[in-house]
Amino acid sequence: MTGLTGASRAHQADADGHQAPQRGALPAVLWACFLGCSWTWIIGMVFPVLLLRDYGPWGWVVFAVPNVLGAAAMGVVLGKPAWSARLVERHRDMGLRFSEVTIAYHAFVLGWLMMRLWGLWFAASAIGVILILYSRIRGDRSAGIVAVIVTLASLVWLGGGWWLSPDDAWVGVFREQSAITPRLGLLDLILFAPAAVLGFLCCPYLDLTFHRARMATAPLTGMAAFVLGFGVVFLAMIVGTLMYAGLLLPALSPRPFELPQTWNVVLSVHLTVQLAFTVAIHAHEVARRGGAGAIWRMVGLAAAALLVGWWVGIPPAVSNAGSPPTSLTTGEVIYRLFLLAYGLVFPAYVWLCMLPTLRPTNPRTRRAIFVFGALVCLPMGWLFFIGGRSAWIIAIVAVLAALRIIVETTPRFVEAPVQSRDADA
């Protein structure tokens, strides 16, 4: 733990020092790879698989468009490094919660899905890769170089899998469309769209790794990095996910499953390097901004999530052959619960606490309104996203809209009238 804290201090000095923002084509490319890989996540590598099962290929489109546009827009909206720095200063605690939940999310999927596919030794190896990447990502330049290596590794392996085993790619998309019957209908897809837009437009502003890139680059260089990072690198990654989605889909069902040999190797490499990179860079942000307490909290949450994932992924929990093919496994239910954080809780915070208001407001009041809104909307989110009752998204949007009006109309201070001394006499 001492080494971890020491590395975080070195990173703090490198990233938070008063250095001139980076300019030029090379920094734009390095940060583009950093951003694209930092956002691929276990969402970009697994969620499109569920969307293909739920809505068909159009589910991927509804996922991809606001995702790419929303993340890229952050580099334009926060046009100057100082704007990003002020936002992080004001909302540091929620940014730390965002990174901590993200690390726990990846730990859960490592224990649930990846350990199920590749075993205990694979999980141990993945943790080793995380530690190696963490130790190598010291400053901005090293982070960019590692990001380029991770980007090339994923793209080369995914392309190699398509070239060596093309018959197993694009199942349910361009090939064998009848092999996958969508679990939900067109109306459900239309109702899913507002949740996708809200989540992917708002969540980037709480991602401390995004702010790291924005604060390290000059205005135009940063804008170029965000556009290239999400419009090229990240988009290529989620197109790759669509390519193998139909292949990986059976692994999410309660029935025994084995990947074809070629794709077994390809996906083990791709998921490992992307997961490890995301966890490593978020761990750096937690360590340098949260201190020792945040480090211990991060490690504890990750360990607990890993154990829960392992527990729900063991054979008694996943081999119930009597379950209908469209039912959700325990692992998928927990995966979707994590997604509610990014589709509801964090976006609601941005919507109610970070978005500028027309007049001055009280931050404590805004946070109280956010907590109330989250408590009201979470049961609706369960019914919508896990229970399959898509119409509940209408109620969620209505509640958030009403709370935003309350934020705009609540006075900043409620002051008691001041009596004069003459009156007291």
In a domain, 325, yes or no: no
The span from the CA of 142 to the CA of 131, in Å, is: 15
In a domain, 417, yes or no: no
pLDDT, tens only, 208-233:
999 999 999 999 999 999 999 999 99
Pick the closest to residue 100 from 371, 287, 372, 275 (CA basis).
287
The span from the CA of 251 to the CA of 265, in Å, is: 15
pLDDT, tens only, 284-297:
999 999 988 999 99
In a domain, 122, yes or no: yes
pLDDT of 359:
85
pLDDT of 420:
41
To the nearest 10°, report the CA torsion of 381, 385, 389, 394.
Answer: 50
> What are the residues facing 103 on neighbouring strands?
none
> Can you tell me which residue has the tokens 């490992």?
272
Q: Is 376 helix (H, G, I), strand (E, B) or coil?
A: helix
Q: State both tokens at 241.
A: 């996910």
In a domain, 420, yes or no: no
pLDDT, tens only, 132-149:
999 999 888 899 999 999
pTM for this prediction: 0.89
In a domain, 412, yes or no: no
Give the total number of structural domains in the chain. 1
In a domain, 413, yes or no: no
In a domain, 53, yes or no: yes
Q: Tens digit of pLDDT per residue, the chain (425 long)?
A: 444 444 444 444 444 444 789 999 999 999 999 999 999 999 999 999 999 999 999 999 999 999 999 999 999 999 999 999 999 999 999 999 999 999 999 999 999 999 889 999 999 999 999 999 999 998 888 999 999 999 999 999 999 999 999 999 999 898 777 778 899 999 999 999 999 999 999 999 999 999 999 999 999 999 999 999 999 999 999 999 999 999 999 888 777 788 999 999 999 999 999 999 999 999 999 999 998 899 999 999 999 999 999 999 876 544 444 444 457 889 999 999 999 999 999 999 999 999 999 888 899 999 999 999 999 999 999 999 999 999 999 999 999 999 999 999 987 654 444 444 343 33
In a domain, 356, yes or no: no
List all residues 6 or more positions away from 304 whose beta carbon is below 8 Å from its beta carbon: 104
What is the domain extent for residue 236?
Answer: 2-320
